[in-house]
A and B are shown apart, each in its own frame.
Chain A
């Protein structure tokens, strides 16, 4: 696939851990790609699979969901719900022809700025390899 394509990735980050971790990546002046657009939610358990589908419908090439590490959720168990929803959503998406790498669930704590940057880096490159989500008008009557 074209190397000049810039993936557009939507990231859903939980307020307490992942978003703070991303913040830390910023204040630590870590270099990482700008391909992820971050949307803050209070908990990774808030992420409705509908959001992921909407993102793909509107042209996202990938979706990243980040929450607190299991056991550390600010609301006790929200991340466990995400841990169940996202894998099954990925299975369903694979039936819809969407590659496994396009949706990623990661645990990032508030102190893991470097980890967040690494994840964004890795995911951007992976999706660059995979190519854009929609191809040449595909997805409609044709």
Chain B
């Protein structure tokens, strides 16, 4: 009997999710022995035409990490969707946009300006910018189109399962592979993590949620036994799905929200903002003004991993006058 086919792909990604798969160590060999990996750019030398040649719907499982921000990534996402029975949005970027989605605070023009023209280490006197189509003597060269807005995977194609995390922890990866191997898959649309937030998992002592001052993580050395939020450090744990093993908390660092919003929360940033401001002690105008100065970058802090999936998705584009560049 032919071995089931698996594919892995990285879109707008740092590579960390692939490293996480490699972190399964010798279990990877077990996976390789029970399944056929037909596509995995970081590790195997398959080309796109190999993927196109695979029959539709014949790939049993596709682990897709990274956000979608170029036409190439969109194309491969759609291709993989056609070829796969089950698509898994693997990692925070594929699930909600991740760090790449912070680019939604800007746009292509500003990014190109900075990367290709402004950056001090550039040597680009002619001001060359990437073009989607360039004619050279030998013919035409194509580059993928760079989108203004970063999307997460299920904004482009249908997705069966979500594995959040930056990257997903090894034990969750093995859980998925196991479920697959034994055929005991959760219902479609599930998020492979805890149904509660990180607070449920966190074993620090919680006494009273009353914050009088917000500290940035470098400003104080937090008590490793007490809830970080109660010490004034912004921990997104209350608004973040659990299941990560409280890795950051154990390292005495606050949660940054990489497991995304829990079930039933449609905008992680809004909820974290609501929770934090509700518990901050301030009634007078000066106290509220102080809160505003202490919280330096609310959008970046609360939407660090979930900008693409938030309600507004991106910064409002600036109106362009007709006739301008």
Contact = CB atoms under 8 A, between A and B. Distances in A.
Q: Is chain B in direct contact with chain A in the complex (CB below 8 A)? A: yes
Interface of A: 48-50, 52-54, 56-57, 70, 80-81, 83-85, 87-89, 91-92, 95-98, 131, 133-135, 138-142
A106 B165 CA distance: 40
Contacts of A133: 316
A49 B274 contact: yes
Contacts of B282: 80, 83-84
B47 interface: no
Contact of B277 (A57, A84, A98): A84
Interface in B289-304: 291-292, 295, 297-300, 302
A135 B317 contact: yes
Contact of A49 (B147, B273, B291): B273
B310 interface: yes
B60 interface: no
A131 B310 CA distance: 24
A33 to B, nearest CB: 24
Nearest to B314: A139
B269 A81 contact: no
Contacts of B273: 49, 85, 88-89, 92
Contacts, number: 105
A97 B299 CA distance: 11
A85 B271 CA distance: 10
Nearest to A95: B299
Contacts of A141: 147-149, 151
A85 B148 contact: no
A50 B270 contact: yes
Given A48-B270, A50-B267, A85 B298 contact: no
Nearest to A77: B283
B316 A96 contact: yes
B311 interface: yes
B274 A48 contact: yes
Closest 9 interchain pairs by CB? A97-B316, A138-B317, A95-B299, A92-B298, A53-B311, A49-B270, A84-B277, A50-B270, A97-B315
A127 to B, nearest CB: 14
B72 to A, nearest CB: 14
B129 interface: no
Interface of B: 105, 147-149, 151, 266-267, 269-271, 273-274, 276-278, 280, 282-283, 288, 291-292, 295, 297-300, 302, 310-319
DSSP majority for the A interface? helix
A92 B269 CA distance: 10
B278 A53 contact: no
Given A81-B278, A84-B280, A138 B105 contact: no
A35 to B, nearest CB: 20
B263 to A, nearest CB: 15
A70 B283 contact: yes
Nearest to A85: B277
A96 B270 contact: no
A84 B279 CA distance: 9
25 contacts: A49-B270, A50-B267, A50-B270, A50-B271, A53-B312, A54-B267, A54-B311, A70-B283, A80-B283, A81-B278, A83-B282, A84-B277, A84-B288, A85-B278, A87-B288, A92-B269, A92-B298, A96-B105, A97-B318, A135-B319, A138-B319, A139-B312, A140-B149, A142-B148, A142-B317
Given A70-B283, A95-B299, 7 more contacts: A48-B271, A56-B311, A57-B312, A85-B274, A88-B277, A91-B298, A96-B314
Nearest to A45: B278
Contacts of B278: 81, 84-85
Contacts of B318: 97
Most B CB contacts (10 A, CB to CB) among A84, A131, A134 go to A84
A91 B288 CA distance: 12
Given A70-B283, A83-B283, A138 B316 contact: yes
B305 to A, nearest CB: 16
A96 B319 contact: no
Contacts of B151: 141
B234 to A, nearest CB: 12
A53 B297 CA distance: 18
